Amino acid sequence: MAYFQELPNISYPSLLSANNKVDDRIIVKNLFKRSKLRSDVDQAITAFNYYYIEQGMRPDTLAQELYGDSELDWVVLTSNNITNVRDQWPLEHNDLHEYMLDKYGSETNVLGIHHSETIKIVDKFNRIILEGGLEVDANFTFTFVGTVTSSTGSLIKVNFGGSSSNTITPVASITNYDYEVKQNEVKRKIRILKKEYVGAFLSEHRQIMKYERSSDYISKKLKRTDNPRISGV
C-alpha cells in the first residue's frame, strides 16, 4: 500500500489560468491529512523492535527486508515521527561530507570547533565523578582534593585524599565534523513496529484517511474547498 495512494483528495478551484471558469476544479491529494501511531501503541515497548540503519539502507529497502513490502516504507517513517527524510534519515558518508561543506562553507570550517564537552572523571573505584559529554565552556575547570592518576582524551582517573587541592580542565574540543558525525549516528538508531501490529495500524490509518460528513463533504475520499476568486459583498 503506497502512502500517497491512501491519501484522500480535495476538489480545489483551478488557478492555472486566469481564463478558467470560476467553477473549474482540479483534484489534488490532501497532503495535510496524516496519521500517527495511537498513543497506547506508541508508548508500548513490546510493540517495537530496535534497529540500526546500516550504510546505504533506505526506508523502502528496510520495509522490504522487515515487512516484505517496500511500499510500507512510510510505516517505518511514521513509527519514528520522521516527516522529512532528507533531514531525519541518516546520510551516507559522501552525502554527509557534501552536507557539511554546504553548511560550513569549506573543509577548514568543517574542522573548526563547534563546542566543548566534559571528559569523564572516575575515582579509583570507577565511580563516576563527572559525566562525560556535557556541553561546557572551553575554560571549564574541576577542582578536587587529590591527584590525577591517569588521563586520556576520553577518561580521567583521580584519587581523592591528601591536603592539596587540584584544579584540572577536563574539556575536549568537538569539531563541526565530530558533531555532525555524532548527530548522523544518532539517526541510525530507530524503532520498528513489529510485523504483527502492522495490519491493525494499516486498518486504523485507512479509517483516519476517510472524511467525515460536513458542508464540504463529497465522499469519504473527496471534499471540496471554497473558491478564493469568489468573495461576498
Q: Find out whether 140 and 158 touch, Cβ atoms under 8 Å.
A: no
Instruction: Give the three cell numbers for residue 24.
Output: 473549474
Q: pLDDT tens for residues 136-165?
A: 999 999 999 999 999 998 999 999 998 899
Say which residue, 25 or 164, is predicted with more confidence.
164
The pTM is what? 0.74
CB 202 within 8 A of CB 6: no
Write down the pLDDT at residue 21: 62
CA separation for the pair 154, 172 (Å, rounded): 8
Using one digit for the tens of pLDDT, what is the confidence trace for 178-226? 999 999 999 999 999 999 999 988 888 888 877 888 888 888 788 888 6
